[in-house]
Amino acid sequence: MSTTARRPVSRNIAMVLACLLGMSLACAEPDEEALGKNAGYPISPGQGVSQMQYRVGSWSALDKVPGILTHKVAKGDAPTPLPKASASIDIRYRHRNLGYTLDEYLDRRRITGLLILKNGEIVAERYRYGRTEQNRFLSFSMAKSVTSLLVGSALSRGVIKSIDDPAALYAKDLEGSPYGQTSIRHLLRMSSGLTFTERYDGQDDVAKLSRSVATGNPSVVSVLRSITDRHSHAGEKFVYASAETEVLGRVLTAASGRTMADLTSEWLWRPLGAEQDAFWCTGKDRQESAYFCFNATLRDWGRLGHMLARDGKVGDVQVIPQAYLLDGTDPARQPAAFRPYRATPGVGYGYQFWLLPQKERSFGMQGIHGQTVFVQPATGIVMVQTAVYAGASGAIDPDAYAERASFWQGVLQSLGGDTNRY
């Protein structure tokens, strides 16, 4: 019996009727009214960019929100082509013992943009909730991986001498603090051993850090210096902590004497062949928010993923050092405590990249509420997803994240990728 035949008949009939009775040619998108469709997916008037009715509009045009400060990341002159694949490929996946198509995935989850590449060609590109190829989507914590790429570039240029140097060797305003004494390598692996909470309840340490970014009172540096409690020795284990990426951002700007936006443009965005300018959001101190606030179009996120799939190359140019990328994304190169099933019950953690539990090296950039770039270099497969999931994390919104994992497995299987587990 076919996969389709095994699905409940009532579900299929309901989906067909919903489309036929709708006012447009497309099915209603999940929770579209709650997300602001009737108001044209409005942008926040300055407060509450994460309120449900502002998420779609604000998270795809954050530079238009009153009070948000930004630094432009300039593109180069000639974009790297992203041609469409010559042959159509049917992407299917299984989730909780039922089979689904790519379009059904979009009808089931709050996805604003989806781009799938195979060897640099577009296999699928979809926009939802009125978004287009011109929108620049908020990274949330995918920015952490961008920050890591800048660290690798700084290392190759001698701007940073060694990732075993302590942060305060460069970021002098952290001298004498535990974070200042932490090595760049341990910060890259989020293994400082310092206690920093991320529960996404508005009362945790990441909320305190984000308020300091937004208001400047207290200063971000004072918040970083105030983090002194330890749960373990440095380098022992991975514990997710956005503050560690913020320290890396301050190392980069102090070591180079330049903004992160300038570094991103020269070292990454121009050689990448980005099609559109990107931007970083900054705090009141005009320092880029290294841990959560890079913004780029879906296709440029795809170009970044394709470069990662080629181990840092664009054409014949090595944009990011290959050795650094392998050190940061290969589970075999990590200490045992940072590998899949050890760093967390499922995935591992490298240099600000998540190490996926495929036997073939696969890794990801991830941000809260469903932001995703997944990469499998050996097969040239890249998946980019921007989203407005209800919950920030898998612990809060487990069904959405579980289905994303199932969809990724289906993408790999449909495109000839390796789905064997680590």
pLDDT tens per residue, range 7-25: 444 444 444 444 444 444 4
Longest CA–CA separation in the chain, Å: 67
Position 129, amino acid = Y
Report pLDDT for 23: 40
Alpha carbon distance 14, 204 (integer Å): 42
Give the per-residue pLDDT at 81.
Answer: 97
**Tokens 């514990």 sit at which residue?**
239
Which residues of the chain are under the pLDDT cut of 70? 1-26
Q: What is the pTM of this model?
A: 0.94
Residue 27 pLDDT = 72
Quickly count helices (H) and strands (E) in the chain. 14, 15
User: DSSP of 20-37, one letter per residue?
Assistant: HHSSSSSPPPTTTTTTTG
* CA–CA dist 75, 77 (Å, integer): 7
Coil, helix or strand at residue 186? helix
End-to-end CA distance of the chain: 31
Instruction: State the Cα–Cα distance between residues 253 and 84, nearest whole angstrom.
Output: 38
For residues 267 and 46, is the Cβ–Cβ distance under 8 A? no
Please report, as a single letter, which amino acid is at residue 392.
A
Bridge partners, 71 (sequence order): 280
Q: Which domains does the chain have, with CATH numbers?
A: 114-414 (3.40.710.10)
